[in-house]
Structure formats: C-alpha cells, structure tokens
Amino acid sequence: MMNILVVDPDWRERQRLSVLLCQLYDEAEVNSFNDPLMAVKYGANNHVDALYTVSSMKRLSGFELAKMLRELHPQIGLHFIADDDGGKRDAMRIMADSYITRPVTAEALRLAEAAEW
C-alpha cells in the first residue's frame, strides 16, 4: 500500500488535496499534517512513498521538510504545491518530482505525475 503525506497549514487546501489523492490512488493511505515537524516525526517512524507539500510554511519550509524526509526515505516522491511559479527553481534543484500551482485538480495531479522536468 502506498503511504502519502500531505503537509499544508491551510486545512481546507490540505483536506481538498487529501481527497483528490485518495481518488487518484485507490490503494493509498493519505496522512495529512498542518505542522511540518509532525510530518518529520511521522516519517521517522513510518515508511513514506510520497510527500505533497506547500513550499512556504512557518516552522519549516517545504523544501527543508522534503530534504529531511528524503534522508529518511531516499526513494520518496516529492511534490510541491504553490500559488505561483516562484519556487519552481528551488524544487528543481532538490530534484522534486513535480511542482503544481493552485488550484490543484485531479487533472493537474495526473499531468504532474506523468510530466518530466
């Protein structure tokens, strides 16, 4: 079973993305967090296949979170959600799998999954 983490301080966006991911991946377990440090703690104790996160957060940026989880899970898929293309270069630098601008839709997730930088 695929284990996906969603990290976004905005509960509406986090819930919306979690629902879309559950629809896209029937067999996935989707765990969501508003606090990136709680996501690191979860990742330290559980296998994680993919991370969907916003890049801008208060306690820890999405890029820092991604680096920490990649150290724990080298094969993790990294997917960034943003309001604009401002962080795309940083996402490419850390070898993210996708960079999706809002509003996130099921179609955007499917396209991002198939896309190559």
**pLDDT tens per residue, range 22-62:** 999 999 999 999 999 999 999 999 999 999 999 989 889 99
Residue 81 within any structural domain of the chain: yes
pLDDT digits (tens, 9 = 90+) for 57-106: 988 999 999 999 999 999 999 999 998 888 888 898 889 999 999 999 99
| Residues 38, 12 contacting (CB under 8 angstroms) | no
Residue 79 within any structural domain of the chain: yes
Q: Taking Cα atoms as reference points, which of 46, 47, 57, 107 lies closest to residue 80?
A: 57
Residue 86 within any structural domain of the chain: yes
Quote the Cα angle for 103-108-113, to 5°.
Answer: 140
pTM of the entire predicted model: 0.94
Residue 99 within any structural domain of the chain: yes
Residue 43 within any structural domain of the chain: no
* pLDDT band for position 13 (cuts 50, 70, 90): very high
Q: Which residues contact 9 (CB under 8 A, 6 or more apart)?
A: 34, 35, 54, 57, 58
Residue 96 domain boundaries: 69-103
Residue 92 within any structural domain of the chain: yes
